A = this chain, B = another copy of it.
Amino acid sequence: MTAFAFQTQATDGKARAGRLETAHGPIETPVFMPVGTAGTVKAMLPSSVKATGASIILGNTYHLMLRPGAERVEALGGLHKFMNWPGPILTDSGGFQVMSLSGLRKMTEEGVTFASHIDGHKVMLTPESSTQIQRQLDATITMAFDECTEWPAPKDKVAESMRLSMRWAGRSRSAFRAREGYGQFGIVQGGTFEDLRHESVQALTDIGFEGYAIGGLAVGEGQEEMFGVLDYAASALPADKPRYLMGVGMPSDLVGAVQRGVDMFDCVAPTRSGRNGQAFTRRGTVNLRNARHRDDPRSLDEACACPACTDYSRAYFHHLIKAKEILGAMLITWHNLHYYQELMQKMRAAILTGGLDDFAAHFHAEQAGGDIPPL
């Protein structure tokens, strides 16, 4: 069996290149995890997800517990087998989705009671049940159950919420059953208040986890404020454990966060945007629904090696989107995930050679240059 072990291979400023060994295979960091909400990375075959370079994906506890149900996934051999993804899977705790998706909610010290967004039936989620559900799903990385702090909120509210999450982190840890090659991450809260973030880091490291996530960001505070938090919060975390910035982000968010010492990311942006005809490229965001692409025989990005860029024209993507063809979602999602993975690989390569700041400068210049002009 493989130990769940993280090793830093190189640093470049605050940035780290590392390797995380897990029961389901190794993960080279910095890493982006495609989101596979309901047991599928939307519009992608698992083999295609792998072909983009992804080594680990994320599953959503909230969605999976409601449908098909954690007991069912367990009976069917776990999420890896169920969805044909033998590699590592990180599951969130469900807390964020309870806030963003479900109906009536009631929060107590015990946990949160909510109404399913599918059929309205009442469900209670606690640190113990969230941890158990993630075990039933067979998550390689289990997340501690936390409260998603509202934003913006006054400091006393943020402190209260963070301290509840820290008590829940302790209960989540107690409920976690250690298994070789599996790990559990605690989640730092505290909003944009430095002293609260430090208090949260201290509480979590006192408990002790295999990795640490930074939660409560990318909720509307803006990139500058987010980077401000990362400036102190990322480096306050133990150097010998992976650091995961939850729900982030846009390509420039990833670059700035890696420069600040973050190792792991997840975000629905590449997949959701892909289904909406929006492509992420080295030259910025390209909206393929725009009529300027209608007669354009050129590649989305002639330097990109993904099947969408090598085999099809912008005109074809425009057509697929206008005609609401599933293949449009399939191809643009593929491109976006490929772009995200390549971005992470390039950052990793730059860290290994001490060139991350140069890479970042090049990245920002290319993004600022914008898309190729219309024909």
Contact = CB atoms under 8 A, between A and B. Distances in A.
B68 A327 contact: no
Given A68-B319, A297-B76, A307-B45, A326 B325 contact: no
A9 interface: no
B76 A295 contact: yes
Nearest to A39: B319
A324 to B, nearest CB: 9
A84 interface: yes
Interface string A82-94: 1110000000000
B294 A72 contact: yes
Interface stretch (A133-141, A169-177, A309-317, A343-351): A309-317
Interface residues of A, number: 40
Interface string A293-337: 011010000000001000111011011101101110111000000
Contacts of A327: 40, 42-45
Contacts of A297: 75-77
B315 A76 contact: yes
A362 interface: no
A136 to B, nearest CB: 14
A44 to B, nearest CB: 7
Contact of A67 (B38, B63, B319): B319
A40 B320 contact: yes
A326 B323 contact: no
B76 A311 contact: no
Identical subunits present: 2
B307 A83 contact: no
B84 A39 contact: no
Interface string A18-44: 000000000000000000001110111
A68 B312 contact: no
A72 B315 contact: yes
Given A72-B295, A307-B45, A40 B325 contact: yes
B43 A316 contact: no
A44 B72 CA distance: 29
Contacts of A44: 327
A309 to B, nearest CB: 12
Interface in A264-318: 275, 294-295, 297, 307, 311-313, 315-316, 318
Interface string A228-250: 00000000000000000000000
Nearest to A82: B316
A323 B67 contact: yes
Given A325-B40, A326-B329, A330-B330, A83 B45 contact: no
B322 A42 contact: no
A320 B295 CA distance: 35
B313 A82 contact: yes
Contact of A38 (B311, B315, B325): B325
A105 to B, nearest CB: 22
Which interface residue of A63, A68, A297 has the most chain B CB atoms within 10 A?
A: A68
* 5 closest residue pairs by CB, A with B: A43-B326, A40-B327, A68-B319, A84-B311, A38-B323
22 contacts: A39-B316, A39-B319, A39-B320, A39-B323, A39-B325, A40-B327, A42-B326, A45-B307, A45-B330, A45-B331, A68-B294, A72-B295, A72-B315, A75-B295, A76-B297, A77-B297, A82-B313, A82-B319, A83-B316, A326-B326, A326-B329, A326-B330
